[in-house]
Chain A
Amino acid sequence: MGFFWTIVVLVVVLGFAWRFLGSYMAAVFDGRVHFLGWLERPVYWALGTGPDHEQTWKRYAVSMIVYSGVAIGVAYLIMRIQGHLPLDPQHLGGVPQALSFNTAVSFVTNTNWQNYGGETTMSYFSQIGALTVQQFASCAVGVAVAIALVRGFARRNSPTIGNFWVDVTRFTIYVLVPVSFVAGIILVSQGAVQTLAGPATIHDALNGVTQTIARGPAAFMGSIMQFGTNGGGFFNVDLAHPLENPTGLTNLLYIVLTLSIPVALTYTFGKMVGSIRQGTALLAAMTIIFGVWVGFTSYAEHQPNPAVAAAGVANTHVGNTEGKEVRFGDTSSALFNVSMTQTSDGAVDSAGDSYNPMGGFGLLTGMMLGEVTPGGTGSGLYTILVYAIVAVFIGGLMIGRTPEYLGKKIQAKEVKLAGLAALVMPLTVLVLTGIAVSVHAGQAGPLNKGPHRFTEILYAFTSQGNNNGSAFAGLNSNTDFYNIVGAIDMLLGRFGIMIPVLALGGSLAAKQVVPPSAGTFRTDNGMFVGLTIGVILIIGGLTFFPAASLGPIVEQLSHGKFF
């Protein structure tokens, strides 16, 4: 019953976020919110731009890429020279080249894949100045790209799709800063640590053991990393760490923060294109898949770990607790990890590697579906719109009309761009996994044996290619091979989709709108929801079924066999 109420609370809170954050974000992007104008205007002045400087999709894309490139450079530099910067009480010294590169790319691409243990590698300055900053920025960039695409649908005969700098600035100032501030304070009140005082060393504990407790500004990072679906925490074990995720409430708050923007963006979408129902349809598709995956994975984790069963601990009241924290419990841990793999968040509050085979399957496949349910901040919306375009195209043909979505004709150019965007992720993930399992440097990574070692590698590339950052942590990926190949995976998975998406936005914005009629393919009813779900499941399923069958599926079918 406890889990039932958890779900109820989640649904109610997210319902509010959907309605109010959704319409608020539409107002922000339409330039109808001004209360922090004193913060907004100096930024425009510094950048020499403003809301009136509309950009074509190409300008928009160039701005986005240059900004991301510079961000990678600055983050890389900070990590490399952190030993010469302030706020390094543990004297950790500079971060190695390959690791710095991987990490810089990881945070700028909203992936937050971490090939390092936070508390043992990154100085406070790096955590704050290189990583937390990008947790704001990468989220804002993702949402900006999504909004640019939405404008493509909302506008007609327009050569431009907005201004990148303005979109990023507005979103950061009006959405990210206020919410992460409030959430951060709640987190601190619950016990999340927020200090620059360095580790606490405790002598003479009750049983005479000395313990050094790593601390840091973790609460604030936790709040923005979740709200921005980044997921890269302060500590090695991420949000399983009691000092960053101290209670059941913070665990729930983290889930709410993560799902808020992706869920609410469907409302923003509906509002901007002039029909909330259009956004609701997308939300319905997201919710159905999400719900099924939560149910499936929670059920799988509510079963005992095969090893526990084999050892004779036949306790069926508690599920798999290996790699889980007692305060969260099995089902809520599964809910948390599913929430993070179906967004681009990737935070964990329990060790995915130790999930039961079908539990791990639930996490892995959540990412393989392209992270659209509800997906990352911005990336969830624009990716599901890509899938929706494919659904509209096939469905539209089946009613005998040149397919159109929101009155915009889906023609060769749109199919090409949507196809490209849908193609990039599976292509990248599969090819890079294929390379990794073929070369010695890649084969050296996994900790486990048998099908599970394959799952670990597949999971790593799936996670990075989807800019998720969730890890089946048994993979030793802090090697030059995994750092560099992983960075390529993340870059392709991010910009390989964003650029065609922006081109799509530009192409749609320039189009005329076909007025709806009884012969129009409806994109706001159950049939469309079903078709979109079908496209998501079929594209994800068909591309990854063989790979998954060699990993978690065969593991599950092994019935207690150990490798």
Chain B
Amino acid sequence: MNLRVLWSALRLVLVSVVVLGLGYNLLMVGIGEAVFPGQANGSLVHYHGRVIGSKLIGQEFTSARFFEGRPSATSPTPYNAESSAASNYGPTNPALLQEIRANLARVLKQNPGIKASQVPPDLVESSASGLDPDISPRAAYLQAPRVARANHLPVGTVRALVASHVVGRFAGLYGAPHVNVLELNLALLKLDASQP
């Protein structure tokens, strides 16, 4: 083999590592910091001066006062943002059936008066990332009576809050309607604070 080819290859690879890898990336980081500092750093959300999470990363809400997100398959704990993961259960895996049954039982228990057939699947099926920050509008409305009761708010107010937080398709063209759980819960807190 021609040694010259080897040297050419090595030079091109090294030039690429420096220019395309390091240089170009640092440039992008710089532009991100300068132009979109919030987004570039993970869309962190502040509340009373404290960082309470990322708008884009789901959290585990267990209190009945808050809207609950989707089941998460991350380990060792749900919504572990250091290690994203899906359940990867195949559609004919009995473990999936078992898990869905358990999730369903929990949802039904937390939200009395709801029938199994009314439960939107996203509340009982885990997400792809394990970090899904959103739930479907139906899943939010389903939780409204419970949340209203726990917060001593009229159901109508909570429903209206959900309605104002539904994000539709992007320009009517892309994506699916969803509600960001963290933002909805934050709004709920603000609503609580403004109530006597």
User: Which residues of A are in contact with B by a Cβ distance under 8 Å?
Assistant: 2, 5-6, 8-9, 43, 46-49, 62-63, 66-67, 69-71, 74, 78, 117, 119-120, 128-130, 132-133, 136-137, 165, 168-169, 172, 177, 181, 184-185, 188-197, 199-200, 202, 204-207, 209, 211-215, 217, 219-220, 235-237, 240-243, 246-249, 251-252, 304-308, 310-315, 317-330, 332-333, 348-351, 353-357, 360, 447-452, 455-456, 472-474, 555, 558, 561-563
Task: Please state if B170 and A247 are interface contacts (CB–CB under 8 Å).
Answer: yes
B116 at the A interface (CB under 8 A): yes
Task: Please state if B121 and A206 are interface contacts (CB–CB under 8 Å).
Answer: no
Task: Please state if B134 and A323 are interface contacts (CB–CB under 8 Å).
Answer: no
The smallest C-beta distance from A549 to any residue of chain B, in angstroms, reads 15
Q: Would you mind naming 20 contact pairs between A and B with Cβ atoms under 8 Å apart?
A: A188-B31, A195-B29, A206-B47, A206-B182, A213-B54, A237-B84, A241-B84, A242-B131, A246-B43, A247-B170, A247-B175, A307-B92, A311-B100, A325-B132, A325-B134, A326-B135, A332-B174, A356-B91, A562-B93, A562-B94
Residues of A within 8 A of B59 (CB): 205-207, 209, 211
Residues of B within 8 A of A189 (CB): 35-36, 39
Task: Please state if B104 and A9 are interface contacts (CB–CB under 8 Å).
Answer: no
Q: Which residue of B lies closest to A306 (CB)?
A: B91
Task: Please state if A197 and B41 are interface contacts (CB–CB under 8 Å).
Answer: yes
Which of B28, B90, B135, B189 gathers most chain A CB within 10 Å?
A: B90
Task: Please state if A207 and B121 are interface contacts (CB–CB under 8 Å).
Answer: no
Q: Which residue of B lies closest to A348 (CB)?
A: B128
Answer whether A240 and B128 are a contact pair too, CB < 8 Å, given A120-B83, A190-B39, A328-B176: yes
The smallest C-beta distance from B192 to any residue of chain A, in angstroms, reads 12
Residue B91 contacts which of A119, A251, A305, A311 (CB distance < 8 angstroms)?
A305
Residues of B within 8 A of A348 (CB): 128
Task: Please state if B25 and A217 are interface contacts (CB–CB under 8 Å).
Answer: yes
Task: Please state if B92 and A555 are interface contacts (CB–CB under 8 Å).
Answer: yes
Which of A304, A333, A353 gathers most chain B CB within 10 Å?
A: A353
Residues of A within 8 A of B104 (CB): 311-313
Residues of B within 8 A of A353 (CB): 86, 88-90
Q: Which residue of A lies closest to B51 (CB)?
A: A202
Answer whether A237 and B13 are a contact pair too, CB < 8 Å, given A217-B28, A355-B91: no
Task: Please state if A450 and B174 are interface contacts (CB–CB under 8 Å).
Answer: no
Answer whether A62 and B5 are a contact pair too, CB < 8 Å, given A220-B28, A304-B121: yes
B186 at the A interface (CB under 8 A): yes
Task: Please state if B9 and A46 are interface contacts (CB–CB under 8 Å).
Answer: no
Task: Please state if B32 and A195 are interface contacts (CB–CB under 8 Å).
Answer: yes
Task: Please state if A200 and B54 are interface contacts (CB–CB under 8 Å).
Answer: yes
Q: Which residue of A lies closest to B167 (CB)?
A: A327
Q: Which of B46-93 contact A (CB under 8 A)?
A: 47, 50-63, 66, 70, 79-93
Residues of B within 8 A of A78 (CB): 17
Residue B132 contacts which of A46, A67, A191, A326 (CB distance < 8 angstroms)?
A326
The smallest C-beta distance from B76 to any residue of chain A, in angstroms, reads 13
Residues of A within 8 A of B170 (CB): 247-249, 252
Task: Please state if B86 and A351 are interface contacts (CB–CB under 8 Å).
Answer: yes
Task: Please state if A326 and B122 are interface contacts (CB–CB under 8 Å).
Answer: yes
Q: Which residue of A lies closest to B135 (CB)?
A: A326
Residues of B within 8 A of A555 (CB): 90-92
Task: Please state if A242 and B116 are interface contacts (CB–CB under 8 Å).
Answer: no
Q: Which residue of A lies closest to B69 (CB)?
A: A326
The smallest C-beta distance from B106 to any residue of chain A, in angstroms, reads 12
Task: Please state if B128 and A9 are interface contacts (CB–CB under 8 Å).
Answer: no
B127 at the A interface (CB under 8 A): yes
Number of A-B contacts (CB under 8 A): 407
The smallest C-beta distance from A119 to any residue of chain B, in angstroms, reads 6
Task: Please state if A200 and B42 are interface contacts (CB–CB under 8 Å).
Answer: yes
Residues of B within 8 A of A330 (CB): 176
Task: Please state if A46 and B11 are interface contacts (CB–CB under 8 Å).
Answer: yes
Answer whether A329 and B94 are a contact pair too, CB < 8 Å, given A188-B40, A474-B89: no
B194 at the A interface (CB under 8 A): no
B153 at the A interface (CB under 8 A): no
User: Which residues of B are in contact with A by a Cβ distance under 8 Å?
Assistant: 1-2, 4-6, 8-17, 20-22, 24-26, 28-29, 31-33, 35-36, 39-44, 47, 50-63, 66, 70, 79-94, 96-97, 100-101, 104, 116-122, 124-136, 138, 167, 169-170, 172-176, 178, 182, 185-186, 189
Task: Please state if A133 and B20 are interface contacts (CB–CB under 8 Å).
Answer: yes
Residues of B within 8 A of A6 (CB): 173-174
The smallest C-beta distance from B182 to any residue of chain A, in angstroms, reads 8
Residue A448 contacts which of B8, B33, B89 (CB distance < 8 angstroms)?
B89
Task: Please state if A447 and B15 are interface contacts (CB–CB under 8 Å).
Answer: no
Residue A133 contacts which of B17, B61, B86 (CB distance < 8 angstroms)?
B17
Task: Please state if B100 and A307 are interface contacts (CB–CB under 8 Å).
Answer: yes
Task: Please state if A204 and B66 are interface contacts (CB–CB under 8 Å).
Answer: no
Task: Please state if B84 and A235 are interface contacts (CB–CB under 8 Å).
Answer: yes
Residues of A within 8 A of B138 (CB): 317-318
Which of A165, A204, A355, A562 gathers most chain B CB within 10 Å?
A: A562
The smallest C-beta distance from A143 to any residue of chain B, in angstroms, reads 15
Residues of A within 8 A of B56 (CB): 191, 242-243, 246
Task: Please state if B128 and A349 are interface contacts (CB–CB under 8 Å).
Answer: yes
Task: Please state if A351 and B88 are interface contacts (CB–CB under 8 Å).
Answer: yes
Residues of B within 8 A of A137 (CB): 13, 16, 20
Residues of B within 8 A of A307 (CB): 89, 91-93, 96-97, 100
Residues of B within 8 A of A251 (CB): 174-175
Task: Please state if B128 and A563 are interface contacts (CB–CB under 8 Å).
Answer: no
Identify 14 new A-B residue pairs, CB closer than 8 A, beyond the known A311-B116, A314-B116. Answer: A46-B15, A66-B5, A67-B8, A172-B20, A188-B32, A236-B83, A312-B116, A315-B119, A322-B89, A323-B87, A326-B127, A327-B175, A354-B91, A561-B92
Residues of A within 8 A of B31 (CB): 185, 188
Q: Which residue of A lies closest to B4 (CB)?
A: A48
Q: Which residue of A lies closest to B136 (CB)?
A: A326
Report Cα–Cα, A168/B16, bound state, in Å: 11
Residues of B within 8 A of A450 (CB): 90, 92
Task: Please state if A318 and B52 are interface contacts (CB–CB under 8 Å).
Answer: no
Residues of B within 8 A of A562 (CB): 92-94, 97
Task: Please state if A563 and B93 are interface contacts (CB–CB under 8 Å).
Answer: yes
Report Cα–Cα, A120/B87, bound state, in Å: 18
The smallest C-beta distance from B50 to any residue of chain A, in angstroms, reads 7
